[in-house]
Amino acid sequence: MNIDLRSDTVTLPTPGMLEAMTRAQVGDDVFGEDPTVKALETKLARMFGKDDGIFCPSGTMTNQIAIRLHTQPGDEVICHGQSHVYRYEGGGIAVNSHASVRLVEGNRGRLTADDVKKNINNAEDVHCPRTRLVCLEDTFNRGGGAIYQFEEIKKIKSVCEQFGLSLHLDGARVFNALVETGANYVDYAKPFDTISICLSKGLGAPVGSVLIGSSAHIKQARRLRKVLGGGMRQAGYLAAACMYALDNHIDRLKDDHRRAKIIEKIAQESSFVDEVFPVETNIVIFRLNPSVTTSAFLSHLKQSNILAMPFGPSLIRMVTHLGITDDMLDVLKKNFRWQN
Ligand SMILES: Cc1ncc(COP(=O)(O)O)c(C=O)c1O
């Protein structure tokens, strides 16, 4: 039995998903002729009350296109210092948008309206980059899948409106947040100018992210996607997997969250774990005490075919997803030991 807890990106298509993919109606999407891609874009845009959407190969691409849409070279983006757009997109903000970043440290990845306000540059001061965009991430990966309070998002939006800033959401795991809070999708989406949604994380599709926003933004995004080499041809086979994921895999995210809570408890009860980040969704991050190194503990787990991710000095991340069962957690519990 292989127990791969490294990420929710490691899932394989289910038989139902594979069948949906093989039955997909497809066409050349660069010509705008793939009906399944169009249906996916429209479906997600409608679900969140936006005008339109654009299907891209990755969440990195949807984030990078959004940042490019909202900024001009030399502008500044406010984001958390541990955010995916900053830490894990290869310096894309600099490469693709020629923009500067203002990094903010918030509570497990979550910025407050005050944080945002304090970090906006004086637009009249020619020495400073012009602040143009705020990027939030919900749930927040490096914060252990932490969920934003919607009231805080609304306050951040007010600050953005007051200072003429755009607001983008990296919603790679937005459905993990929404199944927990039970928020209405359209209400939740209102404050954001653009949202990047990944289908290839907890939802279990093999590939694909959709950027949603206004018609004008998505029209411009089509040009930017082409420039980045993200125009795909018979992408409907992939979009069909994403449609299947939306129809079948949203509610089951709650199972992933329940299982993450089980892992949280296993870690809390272990003498060699110093700290477990509070688990809110499907990500568990814990800190080992100095008696054990991450590499030694990961090698120990690997002997029982359990894979987890090193996540910084002394930190380990485990992520639940549709490939993880209760039986696997029993095996994890048995092997979650350490002896010097
Ligand atoms: C929060 C977050 N945003 C964006 C991405 C980027 O997604 P992709 O790997 O599809 O580029 C990831 C990937 O893990 C992520 O965790």
DSSP 217-267: HHHHHHHHHHHTT---SSTHHHHHHHHHHHHHSSTTHHHHHHHHHHHHHHH
217-236 pLDDT tens trace: 999 999 999 999 999 999 99
Fold of 15-248: Aspartate Aminotransferase; domain 2 (3.40.640)
39-67 pLDDT tens trace: 999 999 999 999 999 999 999 999 999 99
Closest of 99, 47, 108 to residue 77, by C-alpha: 99
Residue located via tokens 């907890």: 202
The amino acid sitting at 314 is S
63 Cα–ligand 1 center, Å: 9
Architecture of domain 252-335: Alpha-Beta Complex (3.90)
β-strand 283-288 against 273-276: which pairing, if any?
antiparallel
**Contact indicator for 288, 272 with CB cutoff of 8 Å:** yes
Choose one of 88, 138, 195 to mutate for the ligand 1 pocket test, by most ligand atoms within 8 angstroms of C-beta.
Answer: 88
Check: pTM over 0.95? Answer yes or no: yes
Quick one: average pLDDT of 32-36? Answer: 98
Is 90 exceeded by the pLDDT of residue 1?
A: no
- Does 15-248 match 252-335 in CATH topology? no
73 Cα–ligand 1 center, Å: 24
Give the integer Cα–Cα distance in Å for 213 and 51: 6
Domain edges within the chain:
15-248, 252-335
Provide the β-strand partners of residue 116: none
